[in-house]
């Protein structure tokens, strides 16, 4: 018995060592990604929450969330250091000037340093972003689901359909700035919609369309054929079948894909900077003379605002607040919209399980 060689190789074998080493490389790579993500998010959350939240009641900086951006004025007056937004500063100066007039003194000279957009809030940007997301996703879902239904349910598989699919795949790879230029050429200039909400909607919708179409097609294909056959065998038309016995079951899948779309639509700056976004706009979107104007006005948007405040104004302790605060709010909003879609999807999925 003992003369025989051991049937198992002694450990640790070479193969085992190699396996461990490889495994550790993979593990470290994962940790690195995680660390990067945590750093970025942590940085934004830590610094941004200082702007958005506050110690006193109501614990949320309502000014930041509900006011328009203003310039920040920093100045020393009568030995005291002040930081004021535009409106506040003007009132302060007028009051001081009035006081001086009453006292018979010359108007006080207030020497200020000013920083644009660093006071006030980002309310118009929030509104603009929400409008852009809702509008463009509505258009993208309508167009995307319609064409997905056509491609997967009606169209006969042939050279033409294969060509369309190839085109859709290619479209998915086009950089967002190209979509922006397309939107500028097509909607802003050719259709003369100017820089407007509707031009932004369509540009963003076209950008996410490939994702929506591909995912919708997958979702439609994953609905078992038996449901279609069963419905058709009961004397339903193809459209009745799709409407009441295919689409409801594909909806959770379609929504899942549209969640990705939402994050992209909300986050892309390039497509909207030529088509829909204003650097600053005093009026809120609903302050229009007639309903038609609603669609043809430019809006402020969070990603573009972030771009503006982070690249067009100096970086210092006064501007930092609005930079990080905006990024933080932006993350929150994207997260909120995505969470809503996930809840909606899970609810639908719960009622249609097979």
306 CB-near residues (< 8 Å, 6+ apart): 269, 323, 326, 327, 330
In whole angstroms, what is the distance from residue 131 CA to residue 295 CA? 10
In whole angstroms, what is the distance from residue 243 CA to residue 205 CA? 23
CB of 240 to another protein, least distance (A): 5
CB of 235 to another protein, least distance (A): 3
229 CB-near residues (< 8 Å, 6+ apart): none
CB of 250 to another protein, least distance (A): 12
Question: For residues 50 and 248, which CB has a smaller minimum distance to another protein in the complex?
Answer: 248
Question: For residues 113 and 157, which CB has a smaller minimum distance to another protein in the complex?
Answer: 157
| Strands of 69-77's sheet in order across | 80-85, 69-77, 112-120
Question: For residues 230 and 335, which CB has a smaller minimum distance to another protein in the complex?
Answer: 230
Question: For residues 194 and 245, which CB has a smaller minimum distance to another protein in the complex?
Answer: 245
What b-and-e string marks burial along 87-108, b requiring 16 or more CB atoms within 10 Å of the CB?
A: ebbeebbeeeeeeeeeeeeeee
Structure tokens at 25: 């490389």
CB of 157 to another protein, least distance (A): 7
Question: For residues 82 and 221, which CB has a smaller minimum distance to another protein in the complex?
Answer: 221
Neighbouring C-alpha atoms within 13 Å toward the C-beta of 18:
3
Question: For residues 109 and 156, which CB has a smaller minimum distance to another protein in the complex?
Answer: 156
Binding residues (CB under 8 A) for another protein: these are 156-157, 224, 226-227, 229-237, 240, 244-245, 249, 352-354
Among positive and negative, which fits the CA dihedral 320, 325, 330, 335? positive
CB of 248 to another protein, least distance (A): 9
Question: For residues 82 and 349, which CB has a smaller minimum distance to another protein in the complex?
Answer: 349
CB of 181 to another protein, least distance (A): 40
CB of 159 to another protein, least distance (A): 14
Question: For residues 135 and 252, which CB has a smaller minimum distance to another protein in the complex?
Answer: 252
Give the number of other Cβ atoms within 10 Å of residue 216's Cβ.
Answer: 27
CB of 71 to another protein, least distance (A): 58
Question: For residues 104 and 350, which CB has a smaller minimum distance to another protein in the complex?
Answer: 350
CB of 352 to another protein, least distance (A): 5
């Amino acid at each position: 018995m003992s003369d025989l060689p051991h049937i198992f190789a002694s450990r640790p074998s070479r193969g085992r060592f190699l396996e461990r080493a490889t495994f550790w490389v993979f593990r470290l790579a994962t940790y690195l990604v995680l660390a990067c993500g945590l750093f970025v998010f942590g940085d934004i959350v830590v610094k941004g929450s200082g702007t958005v939240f506050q110690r006193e009641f109501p614990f949320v900086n309502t000014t930041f969330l509900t006011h328009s951006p203003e310039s920040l004025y920093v100045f020393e007056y009568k030995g005291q250091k002040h930081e004021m937004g535009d409106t506040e500063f003007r009132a302060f100066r007028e009051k001081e000037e009035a006081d001086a007039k009453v006292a018979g003194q010359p108007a006080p000279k207030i020497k200020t340093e000013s920083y644009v957009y660093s006071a006030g809030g980002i309310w118009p940007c929030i509104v603009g972003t929400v409008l852009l997301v809702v509008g463009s996703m509505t258009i993208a879902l309508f167009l995307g689901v319609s064409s997905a239904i056509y491609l997967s349910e009606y169209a006969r598989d042939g050279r033409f359909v294969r060509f369309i699919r190839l085109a859709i795949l290619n479209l998915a790879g086009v950089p967002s700035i190209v979509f922006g230029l397309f939107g500028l050429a097509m909607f802003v200039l050719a259709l003369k919609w100017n820089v407007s909400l509707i031009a932004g909607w369509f540009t963003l919708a076209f950008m996410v369309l490939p994702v929506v179409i591909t995912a919708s097609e997958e979702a439609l294909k994953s609905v078992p054929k038996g449901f279609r056959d069963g419905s058709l065998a009961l004397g339903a038309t193809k459209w009745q079948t799709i409407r009441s016995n295919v689409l409801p079951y594909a909806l959770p899948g379609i929504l899942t894909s549209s969640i990705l779309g939402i994050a992209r639509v909300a986050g892309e700056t390039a497509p909207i900077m030529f088509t829909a976004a204003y650097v600053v706009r005093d009026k809120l979107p609903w302050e229009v003379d007639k309903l038609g104007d609603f669609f043809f006005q430019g809006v402020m948007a969070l990603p573009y605002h972030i771009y503006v405040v982070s690249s067009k104004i100096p970086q210092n302790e006064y501007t930092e607040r609005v930079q990080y605060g905006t990024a933080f709010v932006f993350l929150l909003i994207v997260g909120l919209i995505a969470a809503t879609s996930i809840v909606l999807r899970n609810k639908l999925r719960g009622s249609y399980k097979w």
